[in-house]
Structure 1
Amino acid sequence: MTQTPADDRPAPGPLAGLRVLELGQLIAGPFTGTLLAYFGAEVIKIEPPEGDPIRQWRVVRDGTSLWWHSIGRNKKSVRIDLKTGEGRALVGQLAARCDVLVENFRPGTLEKWGLGPEVLKAANPGLVIARISGYGQDGPYAGKAGYASVCEGFGGLRYVNGMPGEPPVRPNLSIGDTLAALHAVIGILMALHQRGRSGSGQVVDVALFEAVYNLLESVVPEFDGAGVVREPSGTTVTGIVPTNTYRCADGRWAIIGGNGDSIYKRLMRAAGRADLADDPRLAHNPGRVQHEAEIDAAIAAWTATLPLAEVVSSLETAGVPAGPIYSVRDMFADPQYQARGLFERVEIDGKPLAIPAIPPKLSATPGGTRWSGPAIGAHTGEVLGEWLGMDAEAVNGLRQRGVI
């Protein structure tokens, strides 16, 4: 598999010089590595002999998942069989030369392999160890398997998502994994900042369910302070009116956020309902919450008479936040996505492929895709030679013994 870089961007990225060892598989751990690599870190991904399973997930082209070219970008793949003692010893040696180690195995796995934090930090006191799991490294549920789907339910997100009285709905994404990865990166950067003062690394303990729990806004204090359990509310948000999704004359849907007091007045005038705009009962959000059905019915009656583009144009002219619901096809056609550079292109065996750019945008040291996800073990010899000083004979011996 040959690859062409996405661009020849010279900027090294803000994390240039940072060495990261990625032991995770599938989504949460690897996406953490992807984020760090995108902004310049040297990420060494340790893969089992058969490779990360995500290489075969979802849409596969020419034997490799298209997803892999995105989540594996900018990483160096090193094939090591962690079921072997020699393989685990190699990982320990690599970790001794790293700034960060990322893993998302079930708690206790590293300890079983003789690679627990105490062992790793004895050899490398400055090492930051990010551990991602379903339920965290301690507590009665620590040992349970925790996929994103389960943890999204346990963490409270699924309960408030969907239509009242119907089964909770999940987005067609593993959002719990992505959220955990974002929390892991935040924790890693904070731990590195502290290391700059103390010289010591630490463990960053990320639980998928806690990453989801962190999204719950006022759910906890409202329950504890007022006994209120937030329930699913369909396309609205409980206690904020109007903010909803409305069907237009062409069958498409408009999202309209008119919940600010002055914005509400502009919305209702744009919809031809000056009577509701000037109604003193509806001047502030508490009153609008009491009359939500009346307000939503009026807005829905108006949007039903116009195609989506006219609804959005009218509201934008009035200074009311409104917009469409996009599919990925819509994203590719939209000039804002293009202007923001949200698609980066690589070539895989001569075939072009767009992969998503990763925000945030940094003005002086932007991130970027330098190469797409590599073949399994593509950098094994290079890394063992450069990092551990192994010559070709030693590397070949490991290969012959099935360690790499």
Structure 2
Amino acid sequence: MTTGTSKPGPLAGIKVLELGTLIAGPFCSRMLAEFGADVIKVEAPGNGDPLRQWRVLKDGTSLWWSVQARNKKSITLNMKDERAQEIARKLALEADVIIENYRPGVLEKWKLGYEDLKQLNPATIMVRLSGYGQTGPLRDLPGFGAIGESMGGIRYVSGHPDRPPVRIGISIGDSIAALHGVIGAMMALRHRDVTGGRWNGKQGADCVAGQGQMVDVALYEAVFNMMESMVPEFDFAGVVRERTGGALPGIVPSNTYTTGEGMNIVIAGNGDAIFKRLMSAIGREDMANDPGLARNDGRVPRTEEIDAAIQQWCSTQTIETALATLQAADVPVGKIYSVKDMMNDAQFLARDMFEQHQFADGTPVKLPGITPKMSETPGQTKWLGPELGAHSDEILQSLGYDEAHIKMLRDQGVV
């Protein structure tokens, strides 16, 4: 298996325990692992995280898994068994950050809730990702990313006005929630460190620890946080933003247009100076010099007229001539990329957005590169998503379990 460089990441020394499955929680801890955190992922014996069987498989394991679980260590624990819960508790007390995305109340049932752990380790930081958050009348309902996207507002504005709302082609709600979890974890670590730092493992008067906290991320709220000016627009002016297809409502022109050979192109000419350059480039000096169109508030009422002029020009161009003309005029423009386009694009390649790795059997595979780019402490892929329970023995031995005890736990289905 190809590994990254040995340079430590900015989160080197940070221990993370992941108690979760599928997307939101695991994506949150994935980003921490990419930048050096030591992430231990707890999985159920047998099949492990359901994501292992999602989408395209290689030898029975998802290709997605190789990305979502890269740099993580896998331990299997049957969390229905009290002995497994005790192992998880030991790992949680050693962790700087615990990330979980069970339904509210599940960890409390196992005596692994935030308040349970806080009593033992005041520096406990727990990132909790759930559909509706840890409070409120809906807290106990199951809430996947699709529901969060619907309730949070993004589904309502996605698609064309004459058709039902559409979903984005990825699990965007889970991913947005995960990023909020990462941000919350970083802020909580900062607060812990300035209030005393990591717990020294002692109780009572000898206890030394900064202040931990719970980071409560609701999927619908994370999506809602992306909804720009919707709330004040409705509250002040009664405006409900609706579906507008490829256009960006109230910001003109910014839309998707079709070239002569039927290719789609995105043009964002909504800056005042950019608009003038755009209209000059497409031969519409009349519109470029129209004082009524000099500002966005003047262009909005004439959106259809402006879009029609741009579309008429695009229909006489190939996608390459359109791109070349508008790029020369310093107008933001781009074609809509498929993954095939991305993997052959000079910009993606120049930015190292694809990493070459290989599976254990030597089969090569490309993974997406790591972002953001950091000049001194870049992220890296040390290993691909591990086999189920690949690190169980190592982790249990670090907790003081000897080989005989580990064998007994395995024989009895605890690990």
Residue of structure 1 equivalent to 2:19: 23
The whole-number CA distance in structure 2 between the counterparts of 1:127 and 1:36 is 17
State the one-letter code of the partner of 1:293: E
- Do the aligned residues in 2 keep the contact of 1:384 with 1:390 (CA within 8 Å)? yes
- Do the aligned residues in 2 keep the contact of 1:6 with 1:345 (CA within 8 Å)? no
Cα RMSD after superposing both structures? 0.8
Query: Displacement of 1:297 after TM fit?
Result: 0.6
Residue of structure 1 equivalent to 2:36: 40
- Give 1:229-378 correspondences, 5 Å limit: 229-348=240-359, 349-378=361-390
Query: Displacement of 1:177 after TM fit?
Result: 0.3
SS at match of 1:158: coil
Query: Displacement of 1:319 after TM fit?
Result: 0.7
Query: Displacement of 1:250 after TM fit?
Result: 1.8
Residue of structure 2 equivalent to 1:193: 190
The whole-number CA distance in structure 1 between the counterparts of 2:293 and 2:165 is 31
The whole-number CA distance in structure 2 between the counterparts of 1:107 and 1:276 is 57
Residue 79, structure 1, aligned to residue 76, structure 2: yes
Could you report, residue by residue, the CA deviation over 1:153-190 in whole angstroms, capped at 9, with x for unpaired residues?
10111111111131001111110000000000000000
SS at match of 1:398: helix
- Do the aligned residues in 2 keep the contact of 1:241 with 1:289 (CA within 8 Å)? yes
TM-score (norm 2): 0.95
SS at match of 1:40: coil
Equivalent position to 2:153, from 153, 156, 179: 156
The whole-number CA distance in structure 2 between the counterparts of 1:127 and 1:37 is 19
Runs of 4+ in structure 1 over 6 Å off? none
- Do the aligned residues in 2 keep the contact of 1:6 with 1:344 (CA within 8 Å)? no
Query: Displacement of 1:121 after TM fit?
Result: 1.5
SS at match of 2:156: helix
- Gaps in structure 2 of 5+ consecutive residues: 196-209
Query: Displacement of 1:5 after TM fit?
Result: 2.7
The whole-number CA distance in structure 2 between the counterparts of 1:334 and 1:160 is 30
Equivalent position to 1:385, from 392, 397, 403: 397
TM-score (norm 1): 0.97
- Give 1:121-140 correspondences, 5 Å limit: 121-140=118-137
State the one-letter code of the partner of 1:363: S
Residue 183, structure 1, aligned to residue 180, structure 2: yes
- Do the aligned residues in 2 keep the contact of 1:254 with 1:325 (CA within 8 Å)? yes
Residue 58, structure 1, aligned to residue 58, structure 2: no
What is the aligned-residue identity percentage?
Answer: 53
The aligned length equals 399
SS at match of 1:371: coil
Query: Displacement of 1:16 after TM fit?
Result: 0.2
State the one-letter code of the partner of 2:312: A
SS at match of 2:343: helix
